[in-house]
């Protein structure tokens, strides 16, 4: 973002970077694509949308004027949280800066995945850090804040991590913590099994000069007795603390206490919230978009924590009372408001309310999210409206695929572009067999198909003169013959690719590294793959490669 960031560092000029429009990547949400193309044109869904990241500076006075949370209480809580994660001096300095009444926050957040989860969690944090730094270069006091989604209770979703093994294969670390169903992830603590899981994961890596130190750090942070939230927060702080990233744990009692007023307001206006969300969902559908969250008649924007620690949904009964799902616990609206005011640790926001809670707690200038979150914001802008709060603009986080030199050489050797990989390994490998491994057999198959078609055409003409029904019968059999020849050709191509060590190994390794499990790399691979190969300097490389004005998916050639 040249308008904010100035000239790019020298290190960026030494790295080749390409940008792909998201429209060239399969399975993208239509609303997300339209938002990237022209966010302001979707103002009915995104009232505070901006054309360029620099434009968020125009919201500064509005955000500060409408922020009323006690900064001292907030920052005291943040000091405690971040100190427990071994906060850097830069982070503690940013917390002190946040105490000042003219400081704003750049927010992002993500679930607390194993070993920090997929790479996009890191990219989100770095996007917020870069935005805050760019604003500070323009004289705006801004700090980056990462909201750990420790209140989420989908443990299965955060309990694994993927890396590239020593043989170029995809390896998985998987925790079995099934003894904690329904509990907030942040309240789940590791058993002794974490030692074996982490050990096998690290041992499967190629092994470099960085591996020993990496293993030591993982063993120190991800250990028996540690919680998902504390391990995630500590690792994120160790990786990004030098940039001054502030990490917030919403399960912290002081944070919960500060959120009590917005909880109470959401409870009081819950019927209006549901009606507005339902209407917005219908409006999105009528415009050709799909609502990201299905809001049913009994929907409620908050969850309740039971005595056994389970995070349970609240539902509205026909008589207006509020029921804890799976329990006999009932509240009137007034009784639940009293819970919010006196025992706020019992409550946590659902996905539609969470951004409003974040922006009540922090003077948020903008939020960095992914494609799904951008779609969420088209709905929850209505929650902001009902609660009388200004809607925070959402910016798309930076998005990357890291292309190591060996995989770049593979693509170049076989005339492949990154976008060619979207066709899938089963489609790409046969073409490479025909072109590079065995063009003679490919020619034989082509000649055979041509000859068979020619002879069948002659036969068709002869049969048509005798009986048209015979010709129709031949047409059916002809399709089957052509199909079986094609199937035989594909089987041959795949078998030939398996036997060819170079094509099989190099191309499959490229697919595994660049499009693991058929998904963008950032959605699958964990940062450990690159910390093992490149050390912590990898983080600096990504940070230096950020261009906030680029809305595309960027290929970094390492």
Domain residue spans of the chain: 425-514
CA atoms within 13 A on the CB side of 142: 25
Tokens of 78: 């943040």
Q: Residues near 240 by Cβ (< 8 Å), separated by ≥ 6?
A: 122, 125, 126, 129, 539
DSSP state for residue 109 in the 8-state scheme: E
146 with 108: CB under 8 angstroms? yes
* Joined tokens for residue 420: 């060619």
Q: For residues 323 and 342, what is the distance between their CA atoms, to the nearest angstrom?
A: 19
Q: What Cα–Cα distance (Å) separates residue 548 from each residue in 4, 32, 130, 554?
A: 9, 17, 8, 11
Average pLDDT for 53-77: 97
Residue that the structure tokens 């072109």 belong to: 435
Which of 142-151, 202-211, 246-255, 473-482 shows the lowest per-residue confidence on average (mean pLDDT)?
Answer: 473-482
Cα separation, 342 vs 257, in Å, equals 9
- Burial tier of 123 (Cβ tally within 10 Å: 0-12, 13-18, 19+): buried
What pLDDT, on the 0 to 100 scale, is given for residue 438?
55
Which pLDDT belongs to residue 535? 93
Provide Rg for the chain, Cα atoms: 27
Between 104-108, 110-114, 434-438, 478-482, the lowest mean confidence (pLDDT) is in 434-438
Provide CB contacts within 8 A for 446, sequence distance 6+: none
Least confident residue range of 57-61, 91-95, 463-467, 516-520: 463-467
Q: What is the pLDDT of residue 125?
A: 98
Q: Determine the average pLDDT of the residues in 277-303.
A: 93
Q: What is the mean pLDDT of the chain?
A: 90
Whole-number pLDDT of residue 458: 74
Compare 98 and 466 and report the one with higher pLDDT.
Answer: 98
The pLDDT, as a whole number, for residue 9 is 39
Q: Give pLDDT tens digits for 327-367.
A: 999 999 999 999 999 999 999 999 999 999 999 999 999 99
Q: What tens digit of pLDDT does each residue of 244-262 get? A: 999 999 999 999 999 999 9
pLDDT at 454: 72
Residue burial 262-282, b: 16+ Cβ < 10 Å; e: rest: bbbbbbbbbeebbebbbebbe
Q: What share of the chain has pLDDT > 90, as a percent? A: 78
Three-state SS at 163: strand
User: Can you spell out the DSSP letters for 296-333?
Assistant: -TT--SEEEE-TTS-EEEEEE-TTS-EEETTS--EE-H
pLDDT of 179 reads 61
Helix (H) or strand (E) holding 541: helix 537-545
Kindly tell me if the per-residue pLDDT of 428 is higher than 90.
no
Tell me what pLDDT residue 285 has: 94
pLDDT at 452 over 80: no
pLDDT at 4: 34
Coil, helix or strand for 189?
A: strand
Under the banding of pLDDT at 50, 70 and 90, the label for residue 76 is very high
pTM above 0.85, yes or no: yes
Over 70: is that where the pLDDT of 531 sits? yes
User: Is the Cβ–Cβ distance between 321 and 330 less than 8 Å?
Assistant: yes
Q: Kind of pairing, strands 302-305 and 311-316?
A: antiparallel
Find how far residue 165's CA is from the centre of its chain: 22
**pLDDT bucket at 553, cuts 50 / 70 / 90:** very high
pLDDT at residue 425, as a whole number: 85
pLDDT at residue 437 greater than cutoff 70: no
Band (pLDDT 50/70/90 cuts) for residue 481 is confident
Residue 181: the pLDDT is 75
Q: What is the pLDDT of residue 182?
A: 87
Tell me the pLDDT band of 494, cut-offs 50, 70 and 90. low
Confidence of residue 14 (pLDDT cuts 50, 70, 90): low
Q: Whole-angstrom distance between the N-terminal and C-terminal Cα of the chain?
A: 21
Query: In the prediction, which pLDDT does 487 show?
Result: 72
For residue 304, report the phi and psi dihedrals to the nearest 5 degrees: -125, 135
pLDDT at 177 over 80: no
Lowest mean pLDDT segment, chosen from 271-285, 288-302, 442-456: 442-456
**Tokens 């502030």 label which residue?**
246
pLDDT at 353: 97
User: What single-letter DSSP state applies at residue 9?
Assistant: P
CA angle 232, 306, 342 (to 5 degrees): 90
State yes or no: pLDDT of 12 exceeds 60: no
Q: What pLDDT sits at residue 11?
A: 43
> Is pLDDT above 80 for 473?
no
pLDDT at residue 2 tops 50: no
Q: Which residues contact 335 (CB under 8 A, 6 or more apart)?
A: none
Give 160's strand partners: 174
Higher pLDDT, 486 or 524: 524
Q: Which of 553, 550, 556 is nearest to 22 (CA)?
A: 553
13: confidence class by pLDDT, cuts 50, 70, 90:
very low
């Amino acid at each position: 973002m040249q308008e904010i960031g100035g000239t790019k560092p020298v290190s960026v000029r030494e790295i080749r970077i390409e940008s792909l429009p998201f429209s060239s990547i399969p399975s993208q949400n239509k609303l997300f694509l339209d938002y990237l193309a022209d966010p302001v044109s979707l103002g009915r869904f995104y009232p505070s949308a901006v054309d360029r990241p620099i434009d968020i500076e125009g919201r500064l006075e509005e955000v500060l004027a409408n922020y009323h949370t006690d900064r001292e209480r907030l920052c005291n809580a943040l000091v405690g949280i971040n100190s427990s994660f071994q906060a850097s001096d830069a982070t503690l300095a940013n917390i002190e800066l946040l105490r000042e009444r003219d400081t704003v926050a750049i927010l992002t957040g993500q679930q607390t995945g194993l070993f920090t989860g997929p790479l996009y969690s890191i990219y989100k944090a770095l996007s917020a850090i870069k935005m805050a730094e760019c604003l500070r270069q323009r004289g705006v006091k801004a700090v980056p804040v990462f909201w750990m989604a420790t209140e989420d209770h989908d443990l299965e979703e955060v309990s694994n991590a993927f890396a590239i093994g020593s043989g170029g294969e995809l390896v998985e670390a998987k925790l079995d913590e099934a003894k904690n169903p329904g509990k907030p992830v942040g309240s789940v603590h590791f058993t002794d099994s974490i030692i074996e899981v982490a050990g096998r994961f690290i041992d499967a890596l190629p092994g470099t000069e960085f591996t020993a130190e990496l293993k030591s750090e993982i063993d120190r942070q991800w250990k028996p007795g540690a919680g998902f939230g504390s391990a995630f927060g500590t690792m994120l702080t160790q990786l990004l603390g030098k940039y001054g990233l502030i990490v917030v744990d919403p399960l912290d009692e002081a944070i919960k206490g500060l959120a009590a007023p917005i909880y109470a307001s959401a409870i009081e206006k819950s019927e209006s919230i549901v009606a507005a969300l339902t209407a917005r969902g219908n409006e999105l559908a009528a415009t050709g978009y799909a609502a990201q969250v299905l809001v049913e008649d009994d929907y409620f924007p908050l969850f309740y924590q039971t005595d056994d620690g389970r995070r349970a949904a609240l539902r509205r009964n026909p008589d207006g009372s509020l029921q804890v799902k799976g329990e006999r616990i009932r509240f009137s609206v007034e009784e639940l408001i009293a819970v919010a005011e006196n025992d706020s640790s019992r409550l946590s926001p659902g996905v539609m309310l969470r951004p409003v809670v974040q922006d009540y707690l922090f003077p948020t200038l903008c939020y960095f999210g992914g494609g799904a979150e951008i779609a969420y914001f088209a709905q929850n802008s209505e929650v902001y409206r009902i609660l009388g709060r200004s809607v925070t603009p959402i910016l798309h986080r930076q998005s990357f695929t890291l292309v190591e030199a060996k995989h770049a050489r593979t693509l170049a050797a076989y005339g492949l572009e990154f976008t060619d990989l979207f066709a899938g390994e089963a489609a790409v490998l046969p073409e490479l067999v025909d072109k590079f491994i065995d063009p003679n057999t490919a020619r034989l198959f082509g000649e055979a198909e041509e000859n068979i078609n020619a002879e069948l055409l002659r036969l068709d003409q002869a049969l048509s003169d005798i009986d048209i029904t015979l010709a129709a019968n031949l047409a059916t059999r002809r399709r089957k013959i052509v199909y079986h020849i094609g199937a035989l050709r594909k089987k041959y191509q795949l078998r030939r690719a398996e036997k060819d060590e170079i094509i099989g190994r190099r191309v499959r390794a490229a697919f595994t590294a660049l499009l693991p499990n058929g998904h963008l790399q950032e959605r699958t691979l964990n940062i450990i793959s690159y910390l093992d190969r490149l050390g912590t300097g990898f983080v600096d490389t990504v940070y230096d490669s950020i261009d906030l004005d680029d809305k595309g998916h960027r290929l970094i050639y390492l």
